[in-house]
Structure 1
Amino acid sequence: MQLQISPSMRSITISSSNDLMKIKVAPRHISYRTLFHTILILAFLLPFVFIVTALVTLEGVNKCSSIDCLGRRLGPRFLARIDDSERLVRDVYKILNEVSTQDIPDGLKLPASFRQLVSDMKNSHYDAKTFSLVLRAM
C-alpha cells in the first residue's frame, strides 16, 4: 500500500496492489493575503462604526431615525438630507400652491381680525391646508 500526498496539486493518492484511489481536495477560495487585508480593514472600520452608533444611542431618543441623525452629524448634504427649515418652506409653498387652485368652501367661517385668527388657530388646531384656505378667503 502506498500513500502519496501532493500539496501543490492538492490531491492524495492511495494505491494498493489491486486498486487505485485518488482523492482530490477542494482548492482554497480565499488566500491568506486576502484574509489578512480583510481583517486589517475591519480592525480599523469596526471601532469607527461602534463609536458613531454609541454617540447616536447616547444622544437620547429624538424624532429622527438613525440615518437622519447620522446625516445631522456629518453635514446637511450627507445622504441627500435637507435642512429642516428648507423642508418646512418647501412644504408651505406646496400647500399654498394646492390651495390657490381650489375653490373656497361656502361654510368657511372667516375671522374678523388677525387676533381672532390666531385665537381660532390655537383653539381649533387648524391643519396647514385649512389655515391656507382661511388666509386665501380673507
Structure 2
Amino acid sequence: MPSDAYNSAEIAGTKSPSSPAGTCPLQTKEVGIIPVRYAIDATMGTKALFPLPEGDDWQPTFNINLPYTLRQLRDGWLYVYSKKQKVLHTYQIENAVFTAQHEGGTCAACLTYDSDDTLWLSYSHQRWTPRLIE
C-alpha cells in the first residue's frame, strides 16, 4: 500500500519545486541574474550586510575600509552581450524593473539566461547610440 508521501508526490507532479518529487530549481538549464552595484553603507559604524570577498586574488579599486553593501541598479540602461547567442541585449531599468528592448518590451525583475552561457554586462545612465553599439 503506497504511503501518504508517495501519493502526495504522485499527485503534485514534478514541475513544482515544493513537491516531494519536484525538480530542484538549481538543476534547471537557466539562471536568473539580478545585477547589483556596490555602495557605501549609510551606517558608517556598523559592519556591512554584504562584506567584500576575502582573498589575495581579488583587488578592489576602492577603499576597502569603508562599509560597502549591495544596492539595486539605478534607473538607466543595461547591456548584456551573450557569447552563446552572439547578440547584444538591451534593457531599460526603471524602479528596479528590467524592460527588454529586444523582446518588444517584456518586463522582469531579473534577467534569465542559459546557465552555460558567458555574459558581459555594462551599465549606463544614458542609452547608447547606434554608433556606439556597432
TM class by shorter-chain length? under 0.3
TM-score normalized with structure 2 length? 0.24
TM-score normalized with structure 1 length? 0.23
1 or 2, which has the higher helix percentage? 1
